[in-house]
Structure 1
Amino acid sequence: MTWFSDETLSFLRDLSNNNSRDWFQENKSRYEAHVKNAAAQFADALNRKLATTYATDVTTRIFRINRDLRFAKDKTPYNTHIHIGFSDGQTGASWMVGLQTDHLVVGFGVFAFERETLDHWRETVAGPQGEILQGLHAQAISDGLRISEPDLKRIPLAWEADHPQGELLRRKGIVWWNDHVPQNEIMGPDAPETIAGELAAMEPLRNWMKLALGPPT
């Protein structure tokens, strides 16, 4: 079994300084052992932990290391991070883990709601459930979490410009992030259990989504 380790970070940092196909091919065995296989091992274990803890179906997505260069000005071919998403069957949201060369971030939420869900979100947060979510946001920020920024500059025209839940109405998605997880927590065989514990801080948002938004459409 291969888990994330200092060798993982060493590879990512070296890749940052040598982001070329030739270098990658020369170091492919390092990538496969310390990134690809380690990510698969970690993701499988965390998937099982989340599925058991929350009694839900969990679908894992490990994002490709190859960058999509079709519309990118930066033509370096590889990502120098590891991003993994765990889709929650009960809410349609995802738990997220991002390992960068210099830090670790975990989160939960939805980057962009589907059209019908976005309409439901707006109707919901415009009412009493929006007030509840505002309170949860305030507590999350007080606890050191970061809330994703609203997508729109203005409130949609269906609602008054000074609506008390205007910040929520300007959103097309919602994600809570924890930027303060020590990087070493993702290392070794205890990492899935440890990271699952860090993701527990996202439970207020998940519980709100289950109650207020219902199952994914």
Structure 2
Amino acid sequence: MSQIQKKSYQFLEDLKKNNNREWFTENKPIYLKAHQNIIHFIDALIAEMKKIDNIENDSGKKAMFRIYRDVRFAKDKSPYKTHFAASLKRATRWLRGGYYIHFEPGKTFIAAGFWQPDKDDIKLIRDELSHDANPFREIINNPGFKKVWGELEGETVKTAPRGYAKDDPNIDLIRHKGYIFSKQFTEKEVFSEDFVFEVTKSFLTIRPFFDYMSEVLTRHFQD
């Protein structure tokens, strides 16, 4: 069943209160059922997303992040994440941007965009924004886009990246280290039979942004 089950979220709530290996081991069967429920949802989401975009993922299981935390350099030594999450990748080097979905009681959201672009990509983006940011602004300020995704998110540098003027008229965009948008969902929406379609519909509205950024990031590939 692709519908998100309340029991899956109950497991996450219980895990948050008992984030230790002994409890997790005792409740492993419950975890496996919750995990499988999310996998089924992601399988259904991939199927829907393939109708509107060229998605590389073929398996919900492979798209999901592990629940085990890497605590080697963390102050918080809790061994498990208290959420489920998955990412979908667009296929081929020509289609840029990624999709993310996060399942957590009271904090379920989707995100889309460019998380920590590499140095070559971030330079291409910043150079384009410095040259002409009007197309970018027109997309993110479109009322329909804004209704779904709200404001641009992502970590920024304090002043201006090296090589860019502090008084550049588009410095507010150039300062970004990533270009991310997110949308929150209530648990009523999450547990709805239509949730997979609502997520797909929301992701569809990010396409103008992805199309613009893909053109910026692949222009140098063209003859």
Identify the TM-score tier after normalising by the shorter chain: 0.7 to 0.9
Q: Relative to 1, partners in 2 of residues 1:137 and 1:45: Cα closer, same or farther, differing over 3 Å?
A: same
Match of 2:137 in 1: 134
Deviation per CA, 1:155-189, whole angstroms, max 9, x where unpaired? Answer: 1232221101112211222111112x222333365
Deviation per CA, 1:116-153, whole angstroms, max 9, x where unpaired? Answer: 2122112111122x222123333444656242134211
Match of 2:181 in 1: 176
The amino acid that maps onto 1:24 is: F
Deviation per CA, 1:34-67, whole angstroms, max 9, x where unpaired? Answer: 2x2112111122112112212x133362111111
Match of 2:39 in 1: 40
* Alignment partners' CA distance in 1, 2:88 and 2:219: 16
Task: Using structure 1 for the length normalisation, give the TM-score.
Answer: 0.87
Percent pairwise identity: 23
- Unaligned stretches of 5+ in structure 2? none
Matched, 1:51 2:62: no
How many correspondences in the alignment? 213
Match of 2:169 in 1: 164
2:96–2:213 CA contact under 8 A, matched in 1: no
* Alignment partners' CA distance in 2, 1:146 and 1:11: 32
* Alignment partners' CA distance in 2, 1:118 and 1:18: 40
> Runs of at least 4 residues of structure 1 off by over 4 A?
140-144
3-state SS of 2:48 partner: helix
Task: Using structure 2 for the length normalisation, give the TM-score.
Answer: 0.85
Larger % of strand: which? 1
3-state SS of 2:202 partner: helix
Deviation per CA, 1:78-132, whole angstroms, max 9, x where unpaired? Answer: 111111111112433211111111131111111111222122112111122x222
Match of 2:87 in 1: 85
- Unaligned stretches of 5+ in structure 1? none
3-state SS of 1:70 partner: coil
